[in-house]
């Protein structure tokens, strides 16, 4: 193909090394210098005394973020930008939060449109649940069929919030089906989560997932006509002569045209999906990437906690607990490293990166919310302290991607973009702010706010590339409430509170009196639950019902002055 062979490449390198050594080393030094300079882009030292007063935290700034997001929004097919289309869960989450704080209906509409179109499209596995990596077209029909653990984790997280806000049945069903897919195909026997399923099987992309209409007719028999109409399965197909299952007709229209109730339709569809899955399991499956990554598992752990909070399904809480036990045991580091990055075949390898630590601390925070074990918070604090000591760049307040003693890298880069996964820096900013309240570390709050302020310009101008930052910036613009529930039997009340959509609040519960944490100090533990709403450790009189708390929280939903 008019390209050099591997042997030609090797011989060319050898000849250059022998004859142009000084020139190559000079180019290497210049490139390294360029990398070091580019690593400083967008970051500037913040004066801690100005933190909280910076223009990053005001109504106008947030409105600019929102308007720039909507400039790239596809108002017809959902999502942001043109094909190929990625889920952009961070941007969707910002819009959900923006609607919560401002009442802006267009924000909620665009967020839900994006989720709806993905769920009804081919990027979502209509037969088996779970999302593919991205869509190759504008309408979410033809995906790149690879299924990644982190994509599904991030989508479960944002779907859980969307369900809390809208109570839309489509979101609940999608969480259930996606979690079922995770448990069936990506969860290991010991409770860890594998990394991905390949796009190809038998050397052909998507072969495992697509269908021929005659095959579907043969499998389903009498129920095939309705099933094929619902999932747009035709003789000619919609992708390379085959059919990618999708749902182009609105449910209400379909039910009316067919004279069916929703229960009748769902019974037929559930039977059809089960039969197709039985046949699909006999196909040669895509390859499984069975390595277990600390950061991606931590994201999935958070997804389990979020799904449990939203739906109250105990299995998800148990998955999170078992998975966290696995991560804390199997990834424990040695020597200078606190944790390892990857685990496979009984062996953990490679020093963990910033993302790994940041996601793990965030998962521990979410897990303590749904289980109420303070030991998880102690673990989270230890991790954050380790990161501060070993990953910090003192000049900017940000964090390097690698440990200070890791020698096998040219430069210590600082990743600030929220791409396919959140940047470790944006998640660390959240961790610092949350834990600063629980452990009375005001410097951590100032550092988190300073990190956001340093990126204020690029967050406002390019919010789709800084989605987690934008959402955290929004939280810091408001007063972040502190909620405490105490009592000897509080599980039901705690679960009720967790089921409500209250973005970016600090939450802690206790069944025995606890003076270890400032937020719990002085709070009585009685037979019946007591619910406290606080701000900077100053608490209102306790209430007994979550509904009363939610009414009180509406008064907290205001900007800092």
SS (H, E, C) 17-41: HHHCHHHHHHHHHHHHHHHHHHCCC
Q: pLDDT at residue 530 above 80?
A: yes
Residue pair 422/469 in contact (Cβ under 8 Å)? The answer is no
Supply the pLDDT for residue 336. 67
Question: At 127, is the pLDDT very low, low, confident or very high (cuts 50, 70, 90)?
Answer: very high
Supply the pLDDT for residue 38. 59
Phi/psi of residue 370, nearest 5 degrees? -90, -20
Q: Provide the mean pLDDT of the chain.
A: 93
Q: Render pLDDT for 270-296 as a digit per residue (tens, 0 to 9).
A: 999 999 999 999 999 999 999 999 999
Share of the chain above pLDDT 90, in %: 87
Q: pLDDT at residue 95 above 70?
A: yes
Query: Within 10 A of 331 (CB to CB), how many other CB atoms are there?
Result: 24
Question: At 48, is the pLDDT very low, low, confident or very high (cuts 50, 70, 90)?
Answer: very low
Q: pTM, whole model, 2 decimals? A: 0.92
Supply the pLDDT for residue 51. 41
Q: Render pLDDT for 475-504 as a digit per residue (tens, 0 to 9).
A: 999 999 999 999 999 999 999 999 999 999
Residue pair 526/512 in contact (Cβ under 8 Å)? The answer is no
Supply the pLDDT for residue 335. 72
Q: Render pLDDT for 128-181 as a digit per residue (tens, 0 to 9).
A: 999 999 999 999 999 999 999 999 999 999 999 999 999 999 999 999 999 999
Q: What is the mean pLDDT of the segment spanning 58-67?
A: 94
| 459 Cα distance to chain centroid | 19
Q: pLDDT at residue 368 above 50?
A: yes
Q: Where are the alpha helices (DSSP H) in 1-88?
A: 6-19, 21-38, 59-71
């Amino acid at each position: 193909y008019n390209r050099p062979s591997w042997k030609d490449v090797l011989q060319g390198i050898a000849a250059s090394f022998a004859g142009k050594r000084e020139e190559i080393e000079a180019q290497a030094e210049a490139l390294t210098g360029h990398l070091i300079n580019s690593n400083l882009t967008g970051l500037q030292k913040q004066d801690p005394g100005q933190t909280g007063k910076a223009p990053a935290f005001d109504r106008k700034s947030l409105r600019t973020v929102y308007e720039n997001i909507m400039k790239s929004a596809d108002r017809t097919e959902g999502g942001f930008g043109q094909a190929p289309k990625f889920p952009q869960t961070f941007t969707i989450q910002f819009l959900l939060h923006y609607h919560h704080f401002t009442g802006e209906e267009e924000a909620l509409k665009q967020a839900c449109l994006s989720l709806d179109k993905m769920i009804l499209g081919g990027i979502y596995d209509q037969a088996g649940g779970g999302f593919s990596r991205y869509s190759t077209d504008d309408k979410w029909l033809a995906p790149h069929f690879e299924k990644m653990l982190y994509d599904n984790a991030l989508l479960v997280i944002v779907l859980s919030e969307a369900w809390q806000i809208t109570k839309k049945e489509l979101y609940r069903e999608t969480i259930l089906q996606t979690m079922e897919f995770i448990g069936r195909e990506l969860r290991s026997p010991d409770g860890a989560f594998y990394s991905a399923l390949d796009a190809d099987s038998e050397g052909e992309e998507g072969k495992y997932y697509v269908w021929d209409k005659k095959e579907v007719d043969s499998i389903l028999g009498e129920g095939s006509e309705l099933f094929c109409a619902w999932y747009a399965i035709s003789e000619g197909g919609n992708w390379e002569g085959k059919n990618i299952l999708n749902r182009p007709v609105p449910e209400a229209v379909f039910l009316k045209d067919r004279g069916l109730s929703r229960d009748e339709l769902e019974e037929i569809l559930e039977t059809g999906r089960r039969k197709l899955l039985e046949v699909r399991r006999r196909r040669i499956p895509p390859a499984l990437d069975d390595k277990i990554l600390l950061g991606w598992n931590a994201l999935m752990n958070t997804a389990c906690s979020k799904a449990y909070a939203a739906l109250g399904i105990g299995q998800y809480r148990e998955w999170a607990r078992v998975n966290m036990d696995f991560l804390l045991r199997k990834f424990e580091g040695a020597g200078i490293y606190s944790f390892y990055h990857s685990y496979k075949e009984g062996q953990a390898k490679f020093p963990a990166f910033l993302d790994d630590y940041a996601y793990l601390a965030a998962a521990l925070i979410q897990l303590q919310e749904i289980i109420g074990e303070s030991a998880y918070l102690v673990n989270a604090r230890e991790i954050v302290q380790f990161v501060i000591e070993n990953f910090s760049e003192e000049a900017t307040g940000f964090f390097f991607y690698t440990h200070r003693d890791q020698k096998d890298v040219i430069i210590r880069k600082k990743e600030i973009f929220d791409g396919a996964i959140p940047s470790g820096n944006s998640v660390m900013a959240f961790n610092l702010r949350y834990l600063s309240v629980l452990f009375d570390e005001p410097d951590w709050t100032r550092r988190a706010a300073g990190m956001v302020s340093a990126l204020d310009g690029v967050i406002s101008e390019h919010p789709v590339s800084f989605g987690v930052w934008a959402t955290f910036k929004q939280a810091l613009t408001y007063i972040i409430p502190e909620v405490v529930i105490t009592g000897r039997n509080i599980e039901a009340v705690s679960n009720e509170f967790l089921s409500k959509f209250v973005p970016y609040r600090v939450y802690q519960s206790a069944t025995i009196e606890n003076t270890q944490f400032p937020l719990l100090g002085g709070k009585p533990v009685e037979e019946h639950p007591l619910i406290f709403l606080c701000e900077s450790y100053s608490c209102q009189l306790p209430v007994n019902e979550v509904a009363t708390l939610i009414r009180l929280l509406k008064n907290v939903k205001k900007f800092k002055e």
